[in-house]
Structure 1
Amino acid sequence: METAANFVKFEHQAVKATPDYRSVPFNLEAEQALLGAILVNNEACERISDFLKPEHFFEPVHARIFEAAFRLVRAGKLASPVTLKTFFDRDQALSEIGGPAYLARLAGSATTVINAQEYGRTIFDLAVRRRLIEIGTDIVGNAYDAPVDVAPRTLIEEAEQGLYALAETGRYGKGFRGFSEALTQAIDMAAAAYARDGGLSGVSCGLTDIDAKMGGLQRSDLIILAGRPAMGKTALATNIAYHVARNYRAEQSPDGSLKVQDGGLVAFFSLEMSAEQLATRILSEQAGISSERIRRGKITEDEFRRLSIVSQEMQSLPLYIDDTGGLTIAQLAARARRLKRQRGLGLIVVDYLQLLTGSAKRSSEGRVQEVSEITTGLKALAKELDVPVMALSQLSRQVEQRDDKRPQLADLRESGSIEQDADVVAFVFREEYYLQRKEPKPNTPEHFEWQDEMNRITGRAEVIIGKQRHGPTGTIQLHFDASLTRFQNLIAEDYLPERFE
């Protein structure tokens, strides 16, 4: 009896020694310090914008303050206690802790913007830990409460999915890697190129001569496709994106991951054209019907039936279009990361580079600095996600002043950083566009010469590789169908049937 009594007494003491509950990890001081730093110097937003979101804050009021401040900074406006006051005049939760005066206290107790990133990392890491606790709680709850007919494997897969998603959000960088690991990857790439049809180490773009010159679109490359308006930049980019998406083929590895065998999932950021216009172009190209006739409804019943068949075939195409205008480079990167995490990613297309915007700080320093930030960001994104990034770019008007209108690297508009950051710079050039604007008077010797020249170059386009880090430069001849905005391989004269005059 005495032993039993002592045991009960010990157990009671142990229970008393154990806290009634454990609170989730958070740090209100870090949240206050970061918000204060932002309100004092809006540049702090740029240091944490790529990883910190409102939902990472533990205190809901702090999350709303951060979101409102970030919205103002993103719009190029000042975020301060005075400008934020209008957002929180009727916020009951903020009123309970002092109202607008609380915003002033945050700014008044701020330390320095230098530590903003560290505060942001602390808040982010604690949010990840809270999410980990939630996942763990869900795992325990599901294991207890799941119906008997639910297989344990299903519960394990759900747990793995949640943990994988959490692990992806917490990546800051890869750090150092041994040379042996990099060497192994290089050999694997060479082996894949050897085994693949056509001997390509990258993703095929669907145009034989371009693939031969570049070895396909290489992972982690920034590819600049430049040209003057009406040269066909968007058409070529759309053709390539469609080909990559159409050829997408993946197999499941023994570890459950998907291994891409060919093609890839494509993210197309269309800052100039709407998603509907882009889809119409692709539909026109595949159905062989002019996009102008499709838009105007001037098609026959047979052509409409053909459009329906082609559209049904393209329903499952892994081509994702984001036609949001005025995207910042940070927003584009965030959306690309999310798509890769959720579905995978094989190619990013940006149409076009000059329509992207940089940070508020770079914008204030001038367009050249802003474009430099954009190209550096695109190159960093290509390396981070390990996919080719194809960005279209306008050329300066100095091309029009020359007799030979073929573009050069010096014609890249607004910043030398485009040439510097790019792994490949390719120019689209159609001499037909310029020559048809120089038509002489009819029935003159000049007109006959002009007509002969037009017959020679009609339907021809050039892709000029002006820079390539891992391959040769040179000019590639292509066929271009303007009515369908479609680029195709150009059949060499040697391979055409014999003609008899």
Structure 2
Amino acid sequence: MEQTAAYSPSPDDETHDAYRVPPHNIDAEQALLGAILVNNESYDRVASFLDPIHFFDAVHGRIYEAAAKLITGGHLASPVTLKNFFERDEALAEIGGPAYLARLAGAATTIINAEEYGRTIYDLAIRRELIRVGTDIHNRAYDAPVDDTPSAQILEAEQALYQLAEQGKYEGGFQSFHESLKTAIDMAAEAYKRDGGLSGISTGLRDLDHRLGGLQPSDLIILAGRPSMGKTALATNIAFQAAKAYKAEHHADGTVEAKDGAIVGFFSLEMSAEQLATRLLAEQSGVPSERIRRGNIHEDEFHQLVDAAQQLQSIPLYIDDTGGLTIGTLAARARRLKRQRGLGLLVIDYLQLLAGSGKFGDNRVQEVTQITTGLKALAKELNVPVIALSQLSRQVEAREDKRPQLADLRESGSIEQDADVVMFVFREEYYVSRREPTEGTPEHLQWQEEMERVHGLAECIIGKQRHGPTGTVKLQFQADVTRFSDLDQVHTEGFE
């Protein structure tokens, strides 16, 4: 039976906590141990989530641990086989010695409720841990040194509570193929019903969606390119289109399901929120961002800006422009956003500006490995696609064909390994424009023809994809408003 104090003194009395008994249930602990000692199969029902530390009575925890060692080693755990472990145990001697083991087994009635007993023990252990975390937060706030800021305390408190929330889950382990098959069929059915037949979130670009099937939940998508190729522009385009298309279905139990699009979280480690907003405003209004910043606009363009701003205000796109974030802090903020607002897509601009959570010295490769592993784990944990932008090494510039390859990724080992999809943005126009010959020469005429051929064209090269084919998707790029769009099918088939 769960034991709690019947009387709780006034909160003003700081000594009242000493009279409160932490939540526990000795009867459930005894019932579970008895069931295990009678039938060792009971252990298999609780082994995936219950550990010795979850028992309130330390002796019960040691009995459970000893039984677990015997059972996992292929031996029988019974009062007889456990007797040798506890002959000199002083704590057990106080409650009856080895004979207590026999009493546990003798009092056991059934193993049917073993899992339920285990969950009761586990839940009470989580409650005790919650009390401990709360006490730590309380004491730290009272006695914090000068350099221990409130923001640091809040961040660590959030992390501690989230870790506790993750511990308090029974889910996990094996599931039958029947369940996996049902999930796959449900996903296909949803894709069939959705416009465009996508199983994931639409990028807003028809030909890219055709290749990817949309952005898939739990995928880590690396979007890489050299400076000025348009990585951030493509990421903001995708983020806006996903947020703009967001449609939610509210259920009777209070849960909300995204039927289309997504609530988007955008970590902008390089650009400020205002710069990012200006880009989106330029893209949606058609007024170049340079002219927006200088205020060099006509009256009709001002009305276009107002209309675009009103449309942007209503979309569920949230921007965090804090610089120098660690992967731990980023993960905590993403969890908070999902808890408070919801989250369907996460964008990080860009990966090399993140820091690892720990000390790595000059070992940047090891640090990036922790970052990419953390991003992939976060994508799975939150069950959302994560798009992380990445810089490419300068070796691209040394080749005649400047199209990027997987080997061009900085610290490429972990990035390529952890990513589910790797895409490169490439604009040949950028390179052609920089090798203009002298005007009036035959070479200049040839250069003009080449510029006309590549003007406004971009390529999204899919270098890796776990779920489908690789290849190149051709796009239209309007540089003055940083807008990517589908290429006119008259000129190309859209992808190769």
Question: Any conservation in 2 of the 1:54–1:63 contact (CA below 8 Å)?
Answer: no
1:368 to 344, 356, 365: 365
**Could you list the runs of 5+ residues in structure 1 that have no partner in the other structure?**
1-16, 31-50, 75-119, 129-164, 497-501
AA aligned opposite 2:313: Q
1:476 maps to which of 473, 480, 484: 473
Q: Which residue of 1 aligns with 2:270?
A: 272
| Alpha carbons 1:168, 1:341 under 8 Å: kept | no
Q: Is structure 2 residue 456 aligned with structure 1 residue 465?
A: no
Counterparts in 2 of 1:311-460, with a 5 A limit? 311-361=309-359, 363-364=360-361, 366-460=363-457
SS at match of 1:377: helix
Distance 1:342 1:255 in 2: 17
Q: Are residue 56 (structure 1) and residue 56 (structure 2) matched?
A: no
Partner of 1:478: helix, strand, or coil? strand
Map residues 99-498 of structure 1 onto 2, 5 A cutoff.
171=168, 174-179=171-176, 180-361=178-359, 363-364=360-361, 366-493=363-490
2:434 counterpart SS class: helix
Contact 1:56–1:63 (CA<8 Å) still a contact in 2?
no
Offset of 1:174 from its aligned partner? 3.6
CA distance in 1, matches of 2:402, 2:270: 25
The offset of 1:354, in angstroms, is 0.2
In structure 2, distance between residues paired with 1:219 and 1:171: 23
Distance in 2 of aligned mates of 1:59 and 1:471:
48
Q: 1:175: how far off? A: 2.0
Change in CA separation of 1:25 and 1:53 when aligned onto 2, cut-off 3 Å = closer
- In structure 2, the CA distance between the partners of 1:198 and 1:20, relative to structure 1 (3 Å rule), is closer
CA distance in 2, matches of 1:477, 1:382: 28
Partner-residue secondary structure (3-state), 2:258: strand
Q: Distance in 2 between matches of 1:358 and 1:470?
A: 29
Where do 5+ consecutive residues of structure 2 fail to align? 10-15, 24-52, 54-128
2:130/2:164 contact within 8 Å kept: no
Task: Quote the offset at 1:182 in angstroms.
Answer: 2.6
Give % identity.
61
Distance 1:377 1:68, change over 3 A: farther
Give the corresponding residue for 2:88: none
What is the letter of the counterpart of residue 462 of structure 1? E
Equivalent residues of 2:475, 2:485 under 8 A apart: yes
Q: Which residue of 2 aligns with 1:96?
A: none
Kindly provide the CA deviation profile for residues 272-323 of structure 1, in whole angstroms up to 9, marking residues without a partner as x.
Answer: 0000000000000100000000001100122112211221122121000000
Contact preservation (8 Å) 1:273, 1:323 = yes
* 1:20 CA displacement: 6.9
RMSD: 3.2
Structure-1 residue corresponding to 2:82: none
How far apart, in 1, do the equivalents of 2:485 and 2:8 lie? 72
Is the 2:396–2:404 contact (alpha carbons within 8 Å) kept by the matching residues of 1? yes
Cα 1:494–1:236 shift into 2, 3 Å: closer
Aligned twin of 1:77: none
Q: CA offset at residue 365 of structure 1? A: 5.7
Per the TM alignment, residue 185 of structure 1 is displaced from its structure 2 partner at its CA by 1.5
Secondary structure in structure 1 of the residue aligned to 2:224 = strand
Q: 2:341 & 2:272 partners in 1: Cα distance?
A: 23
CA distance, structure 2, for counterparts of residue 274 and residue 484 of structure 1 = 18
Cα distance change on mapping 1:335 and 1:203 into 2, 3 Å: same
How far apart, in 2, do the equivalents of 1:375 and 1:299 lie? 43
